[in-house]
Structure 1
């Protein structure tokens, strides 16, 4: 992709929202804040606009995109919702992506689904993202706003670090709240769900609202975030470290103190700070990264999922 002029920085106000919506309607790319991470948005009904996402990110063509909708009604125009899927949609708006059969004749660019018979849909809770979708008048495809395989962005500065000059604009809404990408859930034909990517919505949250789940996860690429190597800070990562070795940047948690502390013991706080820690570690002079043990419960399962992928060579 040829270099653009410097990426335009937009404020989180009415003028910034209107400008972002205008760029999207015209087929451009805008990085937008969500409650999870910043997303690189393009109108999902334009093949040309969606192609720009893959080009700007250097994203593999077999990795599908999540489509962000204004509400359930708009999502139902693109995908087929079985009763069990509707039960899960109680958690919308929020950090939950549902993989559903693609609606026949849906006005969606083919590359969004990467040739699959399903589509990944989400209704975001972030007020700025929601306002831009409403103003643009179209659903938007929006993977994380970073170069492929690098650490996902939780601030506008993180976006600019890898995409400046490659996209049209960034709408700066401050640091994101959740700090991890959405949970991705597929409801199978028997009405039982499989979590394809853990995230802020934990299995316990889904069970609480009556969504049946089975153990195990599909090895077929059905949704974003299933590649074994992802979220890479560009340095070797050692997990479950109790202390740092001489050449390591230590990311601490709980009783393990480090160069960057995720939290003294709150997993939600740790999740919101994880990518900021990995960005700091990537910029540090130490050639390697170590990470303290993270409890594998609630959103801790999602944190460990991202760390495992970051540590994969």
Structure 2
């Protein structure tokens, strides 16, 4: 369990405590990240998960995104894989990796046996995750097919969340995370992490794996 909160200015701790209470009650919370704004629900609150996908209008067969407080938490949800381990060097950061789920990942969050893993690099997102126990089910703050929110005002105006956390003046980049599938390294979406950097890490992992055979 992650209960230690980073040092946060202003009313952030109070807002995060309130947000966790809402999450545990099955409500949806909007929060800032280093990429775009996100929507979060607690994985233990079935009502919240159902509410989130209803609000999003998302295909339930698509892998869900599990945001984690740190790399260790994220890797527990996936099967051991050299390529995943290599890409984990980019976390925390604007990267989502879709990987075969481990037995520790609830099947409901891994349709088709795959789960999307993310470790955000934003103090508010990190504080929320740690206060919530290390994991949250997350997605971008928008209805599927529409542009995601990139500011507090846009997130509030969308009306998709029961609470919108303040960003503390730390703006989101406005560019979504890069999405990569492992094994294989297929880039599903180009985003904040360059494909050249991903390719270098994957090639190094494959060389190391070959040298170990």
TM-score normalized by the length of structure 1:
0.58
RMSD value, Cα: 2.0
Q: How big is each residue's C-alpha offset from its partner over 1:156-215, in whole Å with a ceiling of 9 and x where there is no partner?
A: 2112222x2x42100121463321111111122xxx41111111001112234x3139xx
For residue 109 of structure 1, report the CA deviation from its aligned partner.
6.1
- Counterpart of 1:179? 174
Counterpart CA distance in 2 for 1:194 and 1:212 is: 13
> Given the alignment, which residue of 161, 166, 172 partners 1:167?
161
Highest RCO, 1 vs 2 (Cα 8 Å, sep ≥ 6): 2
> Given the alignment, which residue of 119, 127, 136 partners 1:131?
127
Q: Which has the higher helix share?
A: 2
> Given the alignment, which residue of 183, 203, 207 partners 1:212?
203
Counterpart CA distance in 2 for 1:28 and 1:117 is: 26
Q: How big is each residue's C-alpha offset from its partner over 1:120-174, in whole Å with a ceiling of 9 and x where there is no partner?
A: 1011100110001001114111111112221110012112222x2x421001214
Q: How big is each residue's C-alpha offset from its partner over 1:65-103, in whole Å with a ceiling of 9 and x where there is no partner?
A: 211001122112211131221011001000011111111
**After the TM superposition, which segments of 4 or more aligned residues of structure 1 sit over 4 Å from their partners?**
none
- How many corresponding residue pairs? 194
- Counterpart of 2:5? none
- Counterpart contact for 1:44–1:140, Cα < 8 Å: yes
- Counterpart of 2:49? 50
- Counterpart of 1:39? 38
Cα distance, 1:167–1:32 mapped onto 2, change above 3 Å: same
- Counterpart contact for 2:76–2:104, Cα < 8 Å: no
Q: Mean alpha-carbon deviation: is it higher for 120-129 or for 58-67? A: 58-67
Which structure 2 segments of 5+ residues have no match?
Answer: 1-9, 205-213
**Which structure 2 residues correspond to residues 12-23 of structure 1 after superposition, within 5 A?**
13-23=12-22
Structure label with greater radius of gyration: 1
Which structure 1 segments of 5+ residues have no match?
Answer: 1-10, 214-313
